[in-house]
Amino acid sequence: MAEPLTVVITGAAGQIAYSLLYSIAKGDVFGKDQPVILHLLDITPMMGVLEGVIMELQDCSISLVRNVIATADPLVAFKNVDAAFMVGAMPRKDGMERKDLLKANVKIFFEQGQAMDKVAKKTVKVLVVGNPANTNACILSKYAPSIPKENFTCLTRLDQNRAQAQIAAKLNVTADKVTNVIIWGNHSSTQFPDVAHAKVDLNGKVVPVREAINDDSYLKNDFVASVQQRGAAVIKARKLSSAMSAAKAAADHMHDWFFGTKGDNWVSMGVISDGSYGIQEGLMYSYPVRIADKKWTIVQGLSIDDFARGKLDATAAELKEELEAAIAECT
């Protein structure tokens, strides 16, 4: 059996982590034969709750879990980690503006970046889940300069999963039949869910989603708005932000980072922009990526029509404004 991977989950006493931990522990993320050592980070007042979470992990009786360390100290939590799920953040509440969320969370990632820079492995794979995820990931990377920028990503797989599910429901197929949906930009209401290059398997025949739906008005309006506003709709309905679906998406994201994408398929990940598709370098921007040997590459050469161009630029403008505000908070 392989040597154990050391995996840190921040905000480990919270709702997303509660769903995520079981998936990691039983091998859904890193493999059925991959032992793990779990580092669970949360704030001091949550240590009692975290103790209960650890009891439940023990009671699951999962042989892949070799050790569990609970701590409120980032220097302990990030010590020699191979993979990091940065879940801990103040959750968005009903009526909260993104700027308020940004101000509350940016200093958390500033401090955790400094700790990660000191003690984490330089090969660590980092996924930021806590919102505003794109900008938090930028801040984390900025203050962990010894770790390559391509090792930092943020979660837009949740948006991809939402978009795929909605297309699948519209066409009365299972979600796995829909591939190559793209989420461009920010994990916010400016994101652009794009099906211009997506495909669907209809009774064994693979056809473009656009052709199958045959309703451009729906795809440019109701579909886009529904995916963009899905997080807010969940909050309105359950009075809490997405947890189960966010945990599933985080598991999907990290699994594909470790095991790769298949054939011509791609997935959406928030990654550091290199200028592809005219997006400013240095923004943490969601692109379609293919993954091999634990390295992602942005899919190049996709056609972008005028409608899409406007959407890509609008979400990039929001990200630029967010990042500037976040850096101002840090200084």
Annotated binding site: 42, 92, 98, 105, 129-131, 162
β-pairing verdict for 83-86 and 125-128: parallel
Contacts of 306 (CB under 8 A, 6+ apart): none
The neighbouring-strand residues paired with 126 are 84, 152
**Distances from the Cα of 176 to the Cαs of 173, 192, 211, 281, in angstroms?**
8, 21, 18, 33
Q: How far apart are CA 195 and CA 211, in angstroms?
A: 10
Q: Are 200 and 167 in contact (CB under 8 A)?
A: yes
Q: Are 25 and 67 in contact (CB under 8 A)?
A: no
Check if 253 is active-site: no
Contacts of 11 (CB under 8 A, 6+ apart): 17, 41, 42, 87, 88, 89, 130
Catalytic residue among 187, 197, 253, 255: 187
Amino acid at 181: V
- Maximum Cα–Cα distance across the chain: 56
**99: Cα separation from own chain's centroid:** 20
Question: Which one, of 207, 166, 178, lies nearest residue 266 by Cα?
Answer: 178
Mark the binding-site residues for NAD(+), compressed into ranges: 42, 105, 129-131
CB atoms within 10 A of CB 201: 16
Task: Supply the residues annotated as catalytic.
Answer: 187
